Structure 1
Amino acid sequence: MGRMTTRQPVLRLRAGRSARRPDTLAVEEPLAVRVGGETVTLTMRTPGQDFDLIAGWLVSEGVVAAPADIVTMRMCTDEDNTVDVTLAPDAVPPRPRAFVTTSACGVCGSDSVEEVRTAMRWRVLDDETRLDVGILAALPDLLRSQQKVFDRTGGLHAAGLFTAGGDCVVVREDVGRHNAVDKVVGAACRSGRLPLRGHVLQVSGRASFELVHKAAAAGVPAIAAVSAPSSLAVDLAEECGLTLLGFVRGGGMNVYTHQERVRLGPFPRQRNVT
């Protein structure tokens, strides 16, 4: 496993003064994924929890849904940053991607939005989970308290899976926001938790179409973001039956879709919410 951080000498300028000192940076490196010996994708990621990352990506591709769908995953000895995956005989391998998936893109290589929608196995709309607004308001701080590498670098996104009662299940960090979500979903898949009924996915940045897609593909009924959602993210969440919350910070939030899951109660004081 590669390092998640590295040290780099920098010239630090503050208040008219300069000093040379080492700085801690988040590592970004390529990861090649082979299925049955064939390279199906090359993605940029922060090393660490690579097997979770791959399992989560395979969930979002509609390839796997349970631990038994993945027979083996192993780091290749003949090539650095390469993992070889053996799927169960009845699992359909993902279509190879034609180019590198960057740390900013999680659905690159898909032919259409409709192709992404067809990867979803579970009907999220049927999930009757109810979420207390006070618990939702507390999730960003709970996630932030688990961002250990961010504390050292300031350069990683994070995603956290929480129960409806606010208990933390798993938190992952990565230079790519979609990678952080894949690592969370992959960890859940490998431990046999899918579908993730009764859970909330909290993310540290904005809510894009790709993050809503990955949440829905894992059967998560709600995704909450510290920042704004995109219009396509809202459209997909509405269509899938997923509760989408944005600007969850400062004690407030905006509920964009399926507001019926949010249970009002003692409401935290709102501030700085758009």
Structure 2
Amino acid sequence: MSARVTVRTRVHRFDATGEVSARADRLAGEEPLEIRLDGEEFTVAMRTPGHDVELVHGLLLAEAIITRRADVREIDFASGLGPDGSRNYNVARVRLDPGVHERRPPTRRQVYTSSACGICGTASIEAVEKQSAHPVEPPAPGRPLIDPAALLRLPERLGAEQSVFDATGGVHAAALFRVPGDGRPAEDPAAGRTTAAGTCPAGPAEPELLVVREDVGRHNAVDKVIGWALAADLLPLHRTILQVSGRASFELVQKAAMAGIPVLSAVSAPSALAVDLARDTGLTVVGFNRGRTFNAYSCTERIGPAAPPR
């Protein structure tokens, strides 16, 4: 684990009796990342260092600036220097494909975005709701995407991969799962053999964990996950589920919709605006998914037992 992802510190632990003990501890790293687009200031995002190329790709997709990997010609971190002159990689100079500016108007951002807010640097209310180049596919009637039991297992599967949280207790996490049925090989748990995924029922097969990312900002973790998928040319993410460790906020629904992700599952509550946006975009929002029960707030047709094989 990188020294910048977690930082060692010294703490004094108190109990109710007043007893004090000193001990070493680890904190989650948080540093600014300045992003410049073709020489112009775009934003400064507070994030946990690591997977920064993915973060930049995911953020630019969420802002409707890019729609594919080829839209980014180059990301250069060489100009990021610390106070002592050492390289800290905290400046990302992005060179976009010239066609990007022809397709879309420039997006204006304030200079600073905190780790707590993914859209607070957006310059206008109208710019908050973006038009996705990868629209969410509508639910297939009578063909649920995910079995409720499999969906309930996703938070535990995410938690098992949260190494930075285990060390610090101070980061959010996001995971992307792929549901069999998109033409890729998948394990058929009933038969114990590999089959063509398109012939497997959608529900009983366990979703495949594709990627997990952690960050002090929950929106950063999601940007890194989606940026990973964009860099791997996997968009649109039509048969996937995004599991997050916190609440389902408006900006997370928006980011999922921009990537074509049909299901966002959270361990905590969604906001009213998040549910409104999910209904508008046809996205399924699940909240309070904590291993035993969950609440579904929109497009519930994607959840249900799969039909038995014929």
User: Is this a same-fold pair by TM over 0.5?
Assistant: yes
Question: Which has the larger strand fraction?
Answer: 1
Alignment of 1:225-240 (within 5 A): 225-240=266-281
Q: Which amino acid aligns with 2:153?
A: A
**Distance change >3 Å, CA 142–CA 78, structure 1 → 2:** closer
| Counterpart-to-counterpart distance in 1, 2:216 and 2:130 | 27
**Distance change >3 Å, CA 13–CA 78, structure 1 → 2:** closer
Q: Which runs of 5+ in 1 are unaligned?
A: 266-274
**Distance change >3 Å, CA 223–CA 171, structure 1 → 2:** same
Alignment of 1:110-121 (within 5 A): 110-121=122-133
Contact (CA 8 Å) 2:135, 2:258: kept in 1 or not? no
| Counterpart-to-counterpart distance in 2, 1:112 and 1:99 | 14
Q: Which amino acid aligns with 1:89?
A: P
Contact (CA 8 Å) 2:156, 2:291: kept in 1 or not? no
Alignment of 1:23-172 (within 5 A): 23-77=25-79, 79=81, 80=88, 81-92=90-101, 94-126=106-138, 128=140, 130-164=145-179, 165-172=206-213
Contact (CA 8 Å) 1:125, 1:240: kept in 2 or not? no
1:114-157 C-alpha deviation (Å, 9 max, x unpaired): 42323322221435461111110000000001101100000000
Q: CA deviation at 1:111?
A: 4.1
- Share of identical aligned residues, percent? 48
| Counterpart-to-counterpart distance in 2, 1:41 and 1:96 | 9
Q: Which runs of 5+ in 2 are unaligned?
A: 82-87, 180-205
Q: CA deviation at 1:69?
A: 1.1
Contact (CA 8 Å) 1:185, 1:218: kept in 2 or not? yes
Contact (CA 8 Å) 2:177, 2:242: kept in 1 or not? yes
Query: What is the aligned partner in structure 2 of residue 268 from structure 1?
Result: none
After alignment, is 158-167 or 199-208 more displaced?
Answer: 158-167
Q: Which amino acid aligns with 1:174?
A: D
After alignment, is 107-116 or 198-207 more displaced?
Answer: 107-116
| Counterpart-to-counterpart distance in 2, 1:121 and 1:111 | 21
Query: What is the aligned partner in structure 1 of residue 12 from structure 2?
Result: 11
| Counterpart-to-counterpart distance in 1, 2:3 and 2:113 | 19
RMSD in angstroms over aligned alpha carbons? 1.7
Q: CA deviation at 1:77?
A: 2.8
1:1-40 C-alpha deviation (Å, 9 max, x unpaired): 8710101111112353311111100011110001112221
Contact (CA 8 Å) 1:139, 1:202: kept in 2 or not? yes
